[in-house]
Structure 1
């Protein structure tokens, strides 16, 4: 079961899922411009779990090495965003981004750059949209490409891992029939998650006020 308390109630979780879906939809539009084909990104579920459980969830789903694009964010709430792929998907993603115009050798040469740019488009698009809806600015760092397993990506060796939580999203990627799937994880400590919870509460209040009590 979850190693953290239920930080978000059902309404807050639904609102956060809606925010993430809007953010990911915007990111999908930007990614479509890069790959020149239809892109579908969907977020079936949003879970808040401890870092250890998040690492376990990824390892249960993925037996091979992982590639992640990492960007730190700061503002009304702080944390780190990761776009995570099975390593076996990474060249397929580069192939999509370069629209099948490069040889395998050329793709390997630009893989890191292409992954970083893709991660930047998805993570920046998603988080910037969420920040705009929550009416708070966020600053994003430059993207960095990491490789390893869930333990490495979530830095479980760090001494303060117990108070770290992970906002864990499983994203279904579909790029013109290509077999590409990924995850987004947002790592935040409890104070940052509390700040996000308060902003979500303000967002819900605005929606309820606008819709006359209907919080859809």
Structure 2
């Protein structure tokens, strides 16, 4: 009670027959409501959808890079966008994790952080060093270096993919990496304790890994990416014009009103039709590879390779070669000569629908 007057909360409590909330309880309630209100307006649902679409495409490229490094099929899908309190988010980790942090230096502003948990770091490091992906115990310095290289490649591929989507140059600073040991309450707050936008992705590496990796950025960076994608899909909307006091006195200008409604209309539209989603990615270049054969050899044998060495592959002479797009098998065929170059004659191919689902 304050100055002999009952607050609305106290009146409600008396009508319900419950206890009157204390000053501390009312204060905590106000803070909670204020935080909830702030979280709700950081990103609209349309912007979250747009951010998820951009993340889906850019992380698809990152998955291809990781697949080439570890020699296994990697799938990164199902983005989920959430707004979190930074301190609560990072303090929620129960096991150590690795972070790769970059700054956007051109094309976008702000910071981008990629997070992978300790077990997945060990699996990736094992595969990169020629192992079978098994891991136990703490991450060694050598394993940490190997996993850092993989994550560097992933975040660089993601930035390159964003450049392709938005048709603009996007550069990042040299990545900075670190292992955070949450078991000893080591803290990590790269954004200064503010609200952050977290994009969760499901990552699968064959039967070895099925987990979430996380991309964290500031709300202004997330909003920037979302608005750039919206502009690409629906055309570049004009920015909302700020109305000055002088304009209000004389009556608001017609073009200002029209610009406001155009922006509002754009924000309400983002449920992406399937055809428009496909149209969005048609210009993105994909890597096409032809695989003559494969084999696995121990490191000591590889180190002994020299001119004249012969490597046996797992493919017969008359067997079709594989045609891969972004690391995914889409066709099989035979080697032919086209002028002065080698080529591939396609003999077997998946249906368009099946091919698209695998890319």
3-state SS of paired residue (2:94): coil
Distance, in Å, in 2 between the alignment partners of 1:2 and 1:54 is 18
Is the alpha carbon distance of 1:103 and 1:10 closer, same or farther for their aligned partners in structure 2, counting shifts above 3 Å? closer
| Matched ranges for 1:119-158 at <5 A | 119-148=151-180, 149=182, 152-155=187-190, 158=192
**Residues 170/198 of structure 1: CA separation in 2 closer, same or farther (3 Å cut):** closer
Secondary structure at 2:190 match in 1: coil
Q: Give the match for residue 185 of structure 1.
A: 215
Of 192, 203, 211, 2:232 maps to 203
Contact 2:47-2:227 within 8 A present in 1 as well:
no
Answering whether residue 40 of structure 2 is matched by residue 8 of structure 1, we say no
* Aligned residue among 94, 97, 102 for 1:63: 94
Q: Contact 2:203 / 2:213 at 8 angstroms: preserved in 1?
A: no
TM-score, normalization by structure 1: 0.76
C-alpha distance in structure 1 between counterparts of 2:84 and 2:63, whole Å: 26
Q: 1:37 aligns with which of 72, 78, 96?
A: 72
2-structure distance, mates of 1:51, 1:66: 15
Q: Structure 2 vs 1, CA of residues 95 and 85 (structure 1 numbering), >3 Å: closer, same or farther?
A: same
Contact 2:43 2:223 in 1 (8 A): no
Q: Could you say which structure has the larger radius of gyration?
A: 2
* Equivalences, count: 203
- Residues 2 and 153 of structure 1: CA distance in aligned 2, closer, same or farther (over 3 Å): farther
Q: Note the C-alpha offset of 1:34.
A: 0.8
- The alignment partner of 1:82 has SS state of strand
Give the helix-richer structure, 1 or 2.
Answer: 1
Distance 1:102 1:133, change over 3 A: closer
Alpha-carbon shift at residue 35 of structure 1 (Å): 1.0
Judging changes above 3 Å, is the alpha-carbon distance between structure 1 residues 197 and 33 closer, same or farther for their aligned structure 2 residues?
closer
Larger RCO: Structure 1 or Structure 2 (Cα < 8 Å, ≥ 6 residues apart)? 1
Aligned partners of 2:224 and 2:120: how far apart in 1?
A: 35
CA RMSD of aligned residues (A): 3.4
- Is it true that 1:84 corresponds to 2:108 in the alignment? no
Give me the whole-angstrom Cα distance separating, in 2, the residues matched to 1:167 and 1:113: 27
Partner of 1:132, secondary structure, is: helix
Task: Provide structure 2 residue ranges, at least 5 long, that are not aligned to the other structure.
Answer: 1-35, 237-268, 278-359
